[in-house]
Each structure stands twice: as C-alpha cells, then as structure tokens.
C-alpha cells in the first residue's frame, strides 16, 4: 500500500521549516529522528500553526461553496471540522506562546 506523508524538515542554514510530501510503502518510526533544538521546535511549530490557519480558511471557503451548491449536510460537516480545527490551532498557539515565554 502506497502512503503519502507530509514531513517537515528544518533547514538550519535558512532557519526555516519546509514541508515535503513523500510516498512511502511502510510506516515511519520516529525512534531515529534527531532531537530538535528549542529554536528548531519553535520554528516548526510556528510554521505548522501558520500552515494550519491557512488550511482552516480554505476549508471555511469550501463550506460556503458547498452551501451554495445545495450540499447542506456536507457544508455543515465541513463547518464543524473548521470549528474543531481552529480549536486545535488555538491549543498549538497557546503552547507556542508558553514556549516563547509570553
């Protein structure tokens, strides 16, 4: 079975995180994953939060499109997912603020 996974990589030279999609034929183990520095962790979490917020906005637009197409049940479910997605993003943002000492 071919699995697609999006993995985040931290570029220590640029100081930015980058997402890459990989096709895998097996499950990944994180046992050999190198430990991240605090700065890398903050950078990855910041990237992921921004990325997630962007997707939440896209899902919100999809919910409106579904509603306009008469797909009320699907629109309600996508709208509910946006609510939960934003709640998760709020938790990530709170964790990030704690890490930054805010």
Looking at the DSSP assignment, which residues form a beta bridge with residue 81?
none
Residue-wise pLDDT tens digits, 23-71 = 555 555 556 667 889 999 999 999 999 999 999 999 999 999 999 999 9
CA distance 44 to 48: 6
CB atoms within 10 A of CB 96: 16
Phi-psi region of 91 (alpha: psi -120 to 50; beta: other; left: phi over 0): alpha
User: Is this model's pTM higher than 0.95 or not?
Assistant: no
* Phi, psi dihedrals of residue 9, rounded to the nearest 5°: -125, 140
């Amino acid at each position: 079975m071919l699995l697609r996974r999006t993995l985040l990589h931290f570029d220590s030279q640029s100081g930015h995180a980058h997402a890459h999609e990989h096709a895998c034929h097996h499950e990944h183990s994180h046992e050999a994953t190198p430990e991240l520095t605090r700065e890398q962790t903050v950078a990855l979490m910041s990237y992921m939060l921004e990325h997630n917020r962007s997707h939440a906005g896209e899902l919100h637009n999809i919910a409106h499109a579904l509603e306009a197409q008469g797909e009320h049940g699907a629109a309600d479910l996508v709208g509910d997912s946006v609510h939960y997605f934003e709640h998760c993003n709020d938790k990530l943002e709170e964790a990030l603020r704690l890490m930054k000492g805010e």
